[in-house]
Chains A and B, each alone.
Chain A
């Protein structure tokens, strides 16, 4: 069984919604679509208050290379352009639209056909990704057209499709692989064509045997695509860990997958690329898991971007009485959101409701030097040391101990028997070390 070689933890899976088919969430009365749902420059708003927009219409256009388009997810009238608190806790510009009917752009193919033939060249596919606002749907939301553009001097020979879904609770990728397997495989072929590679590996954790058999059965019809089962171990879905597990290449510290000639895309992204290229449908909806142990009707939904998290929670039977924390994303790396009026965005893979008694941190006890954090670190760093160095403001040493390698997977804090906030301090130290390094570069 393939897996990454060092570290990792086994949090309880809690995949409550694994058997629940994806439904369409009823359209909300209004949406608030943020202009920055991706890493990079926010898009520039193109509509004005009072404008009538159609579903799928561009409402904000990309600015610069690392940026992408934002589309309207509903049809209706722009009520205002204002700021809104997003899932990161910051205010940002959003286009507010009051829903009227659901009139899609005529160019979008809404039939049930699943066209497999790819009519476009590599450049055309990349352009389509930008136009359709495709970003990495695993959570990082890096604009896909950037990732597909192999810079001069670099070479790519392998595409990896990430279906690990190693975060507890989340099942959006799992359901998508079951229900849209053919679309994902066509999307994978499109990505292969864009990258000009003839080999693609789909990695799936083996707690999803149905998805593995579904995809590997269909993959026989597609040239160059193979499906691989991976050991269940967090963070199996981390880009560098996945590359190591599947093709045994180790991305050097501080470098990108392309440095080992590989590119990783999420299964959700492959599906979005399929829709954008074959059906002309921009990215304005995605699968979101709404779950939690106290949730009445947990499930998986196709949700339009800009839909308030509140609507999703209502569809799942309302906010449980005991809710102490609402997480956008998974419980290991997701963000706790400040209120439930935060809009669902391209990167929202799930909403997890955590009961109050589980939402509070435990008492911080002294480090007993058990080395469990060192054993848990998938990058073989020493979290106890990095925390101590951050606490003592010894940032030069922290840099030498490679604090910037940390991907913030949270395995160290998860595993610490003394309940120490290792990752909090590492984040702090990492931010300061990065700032120091930038300053050094500019001098």
Chain B
């Protein structure tokens, strides 16, 4: 009897969206940034990306199969996204072994330990990145100077990132107006011609990805916009107070990982809040912490730390910040 009728409960139809399609959408959104990083950093970018994605997939596969003995989940695409984002947060001259260790931390420690996709409190790619930053500070802060396919891989000529130039210069008592001559023009920074993590440099490519994410309705504007606006206003106020001591707000948005972090890292579904009100607070927190770390902290860049710190507050926010329910009103009319 294969003509028995199915009598499951409503709704009887389902939308077209699936986890896999969403992840594929994020991968698509990362393509422009991937191409610009290859354009600026040559085959080093290719190697880093390939190693990172492949090792993330392999670690997830082996852990699911031999350690947790659960179903294999690598086809959902989340490990690919983690691999890509981890690679985008690394300099293009980082040795293979370090990438593999970072991938292991991302997947094994930050994701699978908590039960796999959907259960990790911290962004896996960022946990991997910060682990690498602390464990391999030299390799993680030697930034290849962009020279296309002439950049090389581990033999690349390195230089400081714009943020590091400012940080070091200020420490040595130089005023911003003098330091500005050493950093790339805003146009170069917008297009990505500067030192930095291979995926974070090109604002234009990241914004293209943002448009795609919005168009595909994968994310909403709330988290990225609050982060960027908060950083812009906060650094703007400081700059207005003393332009010789604090860099201008455009610089803070274009330099470093603000756009990569705001668009792709902070919006990670699993580790970001579940309602709009909480998302605004979360974005505000990331923006504030980023500026605080950049300006008064030991590191020149603070986006990764800011996101991880705010990740820790997400469960609390989900529990106490509630959407205003429909019908939660005093009687009217």
Contact = CB atoms under 8 A, between A and B. Distances in A.
B15 A11 contact: yes
Nearest to B21: A417
Contacts of A327: 10, 12
Interface SS majority for chain A:
loop
A290 to B, nearest CB: 16
B296 interface: no
Nearest to B332: A249
Given A405-B326, A410-B10, 14 more contacts: A247-B333, A252-B327, A253-B325, A259-B331, A324-B6, A333-B10, A336-B8, A358-B13, A366-B119, A369-B118, A371-B273, A382-B322, A414-B11, A418-B118
Interface stretch (A140-148, A173-181, A190-198, A373-381): A373-381
A402 to B, nearest CB: 6
A15 interface: no
Interface string B265-308: 00001101111000000000000000000000000000000000
Interface in B209-223: 220
10 contacts: A323-B3, A325-B7, A326-B5, A336-B5, A336-B9, A354-B13, A379-B326, A382-B322, A385-B318, A413-B11
A405 B325 contact: yes
Interface SS majority for chain B:
loop
A331 interface: yes
Interface of B: 3, 5-15, 17-19, 21-22, 76, 78, 116-119, 220, 269-270, 272-275, 318, 322-333
A122 B217 CA distance: 51
A405 B327 contact: yes
A423 interface: yes
B11 A323 contact: no
B18 A419 contact: yes
A410 B11 contact: yes
Contacts of B116: 366
Contacts of A98: none
Given A382-B274, A402-B325, A405-B326, A423 B11 contact: yes
A338 interface: yes
Given A260-B332, A367-B118, A417 B22 contact: yes
A368 interface: yes
B327 A366 contact: no
Interface string A305-348: 00000000000000000011111000111111111100000000
A327 B76 CA distance: 32
A104 B271 CA distance: 67
B282 to A, nearest CB: 12
Given A249-B332, A365-B19, A380-B323, A332 B13 contact: yes
B12 A334 contact: yes
B6 A335 contact: no
Contacts of B11: 331-333, 410-411, 413-414, 423
A362 interface: yes
B328 A253 contact: yes
A380 B333 CA distance: 21
Contact of A369 (B7, B12, B17, B274): B274
Interface of A: 6, 9, 11-12, 89, 157, 168, 240, 244, 247, 249-255, 259-262, 323-327, 331-340, 352, 354, 356, 358-362, 365-372, 374-375, 378-382, 384-385, 402, 405, 408, 410-411, 413-419, 423-424, 427
A254 B5 CA distance: 36
Contact of B326 (A362, A378, A418): A378
B22 A325 contact: no
Nearest to B219: A370
Contact of B17 (A254, A356, A379, A415): A415
A338 B5 contact: yes
A382 to B, nearest CB: 6
Given A324-B5, A336-B7, A427-B9, A252 B118 contact: no
A170 B186 CA distance: 56
B17 A253 contact: no
B10 A334 contact: yes
A415 B217 CA distance: 12
Contacts of B21: 417
A141 to B, nearest CB: 16
B326 A336 contact: no
Nearest to A234: B11
Contacts of A251: 327
Contacts of A411: 11
**Most A CB within 10 A of own CB, among B14, B273, B322:** B14
Given A259-B331, A331-B13, A378-B326, A368 B8 contact: no
Contact of B5 (A253, A339, A371, A419): A339
Contact of A371 (B118, B269, B332): B269
Contact of B12 (A261, A354, A385): A354
Contact of A249 (B13, B322, B333): B333
Nearest to B18: A417
Contacts of A6: 323, 326
A415 B5 CA distance: 24
B12 A252 contact: no
Nearest to B269: A370
Nearest to A7: B326
B328 A168 contact: no
A249 B331 CA distance: 9
B118 A366 contact: yes
Contacts of A254: 327
B306 to A, nearest CB: 20
Contacts of B324: 380
Contacts of A12: 13
A129 B201 CA distance: 71
Contacts of B76: 365
Contact of B9 (A168, A261, A339, A424): A424
Q: Which 8 A-B pairs have the closest CB atoms?
A: A410-B11, A253-B327, A366-B118, A379-B326, A336-B7, A417-B17, A331-B12, A260-B333
Given A415-B17, A417-B21, A423 B9 contact: yes
Nearest to B117: A366
